[in-house]
């Protein structure tokens, strides 16, 4: 991609994508709403549920019911049920691979500090911090993997598919930009946009 800057303007029902002298107008789908949120906060990780809650907020009347005691809910004829089975936020293989990578980065950090190679050290420290943040979110203090409800897994799939459809739309008009965003938008159980060589401004 020749251009190194991209302009995105959010309108009421559409998104204007500006690259050099070209401007594309695209329907503001849920995927675009999620993607814009990531682009506005580069480097920050988000849970899928936070995106869904922003697009489909819980009505106040239902939110208030959640604040009632069990006795008050029973008086209204409402009954509580057990939460769905919980699943792990990451699998053992992923944790092993990330831990191995983190060990390598720590060793590289020591080497670069010895060589006083500050330019290369910045990239190492940045990746190391992101991996440590991820592990702190998916691992308990004792090292066990945290779990969340099955609904969270469905949330993740819904957000993943919405963003993927959005990126497909971008790829149809600007294949290089679509490929770039796919490489920079991380969609594990947490979502994050990691900025790269292209400057993206959301207006």
123-170 per-position pLDDT tens digit? 899 899 989 988 988 888 888 888 765 456 677 788 889 999 999 999
How do 199-202 and 14-19 pair as beta strands? unpaired
User: How would DSSP label each residue in 16-62?
Assistant: EEEETTEEEEEE--HHHHHHHHHHHSTT--EEHHHHHHHHSPPPHHH
User: Taking the mean position of all CA atoms in its chain, how far away is CA 98?
Assistant: 17
Spell out the residues 6+ positions from residue 172 whose beta carbon is closer than 8 angstroms to its own.
178
Q: Could you tell me the pTM of the whole model?
A: 0.60
Q: What is the pLDDT of residue 54?
A: 67
Tell me which residues of the chain have a pLDDT lower than 70.
1, 54-55, 57-58, 80-87, 148-153, 188-189
Residue 202 tokens, joined:
């959301």
Burial 22-57 (b: 16+ CB within 10 A, else e): eebebebbbbbbbbbbbbeeeeebbbbbebbeeeee
- Given this model, what pLDDT does residue 118 score? 85
Model pLDDT, residue 84: 52
Return the DSSP state at 139: B
């Amino acid at each position: 991609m020749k251009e190194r800057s991209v302009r995105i303007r959010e309108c009421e029902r559409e998104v204007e994508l500006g690259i050099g002298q070209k401007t594309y107008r695209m329907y503001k789908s849920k995927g675009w709403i999620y993607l814009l949120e990531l682009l506005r906060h580069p480097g920050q990780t988000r849970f899928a549920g936070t995106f869904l809650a922003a697009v489909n907020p819980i009505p106040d009347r239902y939110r208030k019911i959640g604040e009632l005691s069990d006795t008050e809910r029973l008086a209204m004829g409402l009954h509580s049920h057990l939460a769905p089975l919980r699943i792990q936020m990451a699998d053992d293989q992923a944790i092993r691979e990330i831990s191995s990578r983190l060990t390598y980065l720590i060793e590289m950090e020591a080497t670069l500090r010895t060589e006083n190679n500050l330019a290369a050290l910045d990239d190492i420290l940045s990746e190391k911090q992101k991996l440590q943040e991820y592990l702190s979110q998916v691992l308990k203090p004792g090292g066990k993997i945290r779990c969340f409800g099955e609904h969270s897994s469905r949330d993740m799939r819904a957000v993943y598919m919405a963003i993927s459809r959005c990126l497909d739309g971008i790829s149809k008009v600007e294949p290089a930009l679509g490929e770039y965003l796919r490489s920079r938008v991380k969609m594990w159980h947490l979502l994050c946009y990691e900025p790269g060589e292209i400057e993206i401004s959301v207006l």
